[in-house]
Amino acid sequence: MIDDRQNWQRMNLAAIEKRLAWLQQQPDKVIFCKDSGVHYVAVTKERSQIKLSLVEKVNLHTDLLQSVFDLNNPLHLVSEYTQAMMLGLVWQSQPQRIYIAGFGGGRIPLVLHHYLPETVIECADVDPIAIEAAIECFGVKLDDRLTVAIQDGREYLEQQKPDNQYDIIMTDVFFGNGYFPHRLATKEFYQLCKKRLSSEGVVLVNLLQRDEFYAEKVKTFQSVFSQVCVCPWKDINSVLIGSNSAILDEDEIVARAKYLQDGHLFSFSLIERSLDVKVGNELAGIVPNLDKAQVLTDDSPPVGYFDSWLL
């Protein structure tokens, strides 16, 4: 079984590299740019790095990189927050089904698809142009185990049958200006996630720490899940991890990450990311004003929440 998996992974990596071969010959430039609603989806090549960005039409500027990968190592997750999203495997090391709201360049789905050859990965994203860019420029190939619906992430989850249970649910949804949809940040949404989880399932959410409502989003997450951990990356991103299964302490999280690292031989260090995880009372020390934050609900968005969307 192990030999079969290794052989499949070798063939899969060769197929990914073949799909990316045309990029090796390209000079440093914009290699993909298409109109998509209020922004352009642009892919640029900078030496061996391929980057996908959403460029605002108004000022042709974005400060939020959507996806990046290294042509010389297509299975390496360059962004540390994407490495942190892989910590879901600490709670569910052999997931049967994974759901991801937000696709971008498809980096996390592609890596999960490679290392977990028996796992079904369902994704949803509202931007068909970004999906097109992922397939053309990021080596992604959709198949019966990796699918993406052009649909709102919450709507997709709502429409699944009650017996469709996911072992891991991830949310990684941002617009070019950093706006995080309110409907994916509320108590009702996380209750929906909880309803769609398997008994030992885990939810992971990527947030920006500069978000004006960062504390409210963490507090809302805490209101639904019995164990909440935070894996912060510098002062930029934080990955929230929530589960209602057995509570893991920091030592157990690191031990499981080491087991996964030894088994999969990731090119990035899942152990380092696990060492960054904060649990329990530690959250109050790294999330400013968490004790004063209010829980977000569908029917009462806080004043000013939608202002960044209008910028």
**Mean pLDDT within 94-110:** 96
pLDDT in tens, 17-76: 999 999 999 999 999 999 988 788 999 999 999 999 988 777 666 556 789 999 999 999
pLDDT exceeds cutoff 80 at 311: no
Model pLDDT, residue 2: 63
**Mean pLDDT within 250-254:** 97
Q: Which CATH code, of 1.25.10.10, 3.40.50.720, 3.40.720.10, 3.40.50.150, is assigned to 73-284?
A: 3.40.50.150
Label residues 148-158 b or e (16+ Cβ within 10 Å = b): bbeebbbebbe
CA–CA separation, 83 and 89 (whole Å): 11
Percentage, residues of the chain above pLDDT 70: 94
Model pLDDT, residue 62: 56
- As a whole number, the mean pLDDT across the chain is 92
**Mean pLDDT within 108-117:** 97
As given in the structure block, the two tokens for residue 305 are 């929440």
Domain regions of the chain by residue span = 73-284
Q: What is the pTM of this model?
A: 0.94
What is the DSSP secondary-structure string of the chain?
A: -HHHHHHHHHHHHHHHHHHHHHHHT--SSEEEEEEETTEEEEEEEETTEEEEEEEETTTS--S-EEEEEETTBTT---SHHHHHHTTHHHH-SS-SEEEEE--TT-HHHHHHHHH-TT-EEEEEES-HHHHHHHHHHS-----SSEEEEES-HHHHHHTS-TT--EEEEEE----TT----GGGSSHHHHHHHHHHEEEEEEEEEEEETT-TTHHHHHHHHHTT-SEEEEEEETTTEEEEEEESSSPP-HHHHHHHHHHHHHHH--SS-HHHHHHT-EETTHHHHHSTTGGGPPPP-TT-PPTTTTHHHH-
Model pLDDT, residue 57: 77
pLDDT in tens, 263-281: 999 999 999 999 999 998 8
Q: Are 308 and 178 in contact (CB under 8 A)?
A: yes
